Amino acid sequence: MRSSKKKHPLAVLRLLLGMGQQEMAALVGCSKVSIQSIELLRLKLSPNLAGRIVHQTGVDFGWLMGGDPKAPMLNRGKGVYRQQDYFFVQTVLGQSFKGDRSVAERVEVFCGRIKAILDEAEKTGNLDLLDWRIAAALTKIENQGAAGDRGRK
């Protein structure tokens, strides 16, 4: 793998994760040429592609779109981004709860996801709104019962 000039935050992220341009492209559903062009500042990173990168890696949208490769790399919770953030996101995205996980494992994953969302809401001043949304979602699930939609007529 050739050395990158790190002209764009995407290159910084990709290299931290130890990925080639082709791997990053496959992860986020675009071409290697797109990744290369963004990193070389020949193509502007679209908000759509940035959103897919954020979803797959856990990196902060503002940091990625900011365009400053020397700025401290942040995660979605506005903390320092580390490789572990990527591995956590990939674990959550790859979770297959089709009978192969215990209740305790499921609770751990879901609580981790909720904590990350709450941390982000706290930083943006939307904690009360998010509390209401989570409570409403949980109430809806509780009202459906363990059978979910299959048990409703």
| Secondary structure (DSSP) of 19-87 | --HHHHHHHHTS-HHHHHHHHTTSSPPPHHHHHHHHHHH-B-HHHHHH--TTSPPBBTTSSB--HHHHH
- Identify whether residues 18 and 60 lie together within a single domain: yes
Instruction: With respect to residue 74, please indicate whether it lies within any of the assigned structural domains.
Output: no
pTM above 0.75, yes or no: no
Domain of 132 in residue numbering reads as: 95-145
- Identify whether residues 19 and 58 lie together within a single domain: yes
Q: What is the pLDDT of residues 49-108, one digit of tens each?
A: 999 999 999 999 999 999 999 999 999 888 999 988 888 888 888 754 555 667 777 777
Is the pLDDT confidence value at 148 over 70? Answer: no
Q: Residue 6, Cβ neighbours under 10 Å: how many?
A: 14
- The predicted structure's pLDDT at residue 150: 52
Instruction: With respect to residue 88, please indicate whether it lies within any of the assigned structural domains.
Output: no
Instruction: With respect to residue 50, please indicate whether it lies within any of the assigned structural domains.
Output: yes
Instruction: With respect to residue 29, please indicate whether it lies within any of the assigned structural domains.
Output: yes
Instruction: With respect to residue 13, please indicate whether it lies within any of the assigned structural domains.
Output: yes
Mean pLDDT of the chain: 85
- The predicted structure's pLDDT at residue 1: 46
Q: Map residue 153 onto helix, strand or coil.
A: coil
In total, how many domains does the chain have? Answer: 2
Q: Is the dihedral of CA 41, 26, 9, 116 positive or negative?
A: positive
**Cα 98 to Cα 41: distance, rounded to the nearest angstrom:** 43
- Identify whether residues 17 and 61 lie together within a single domain: yes
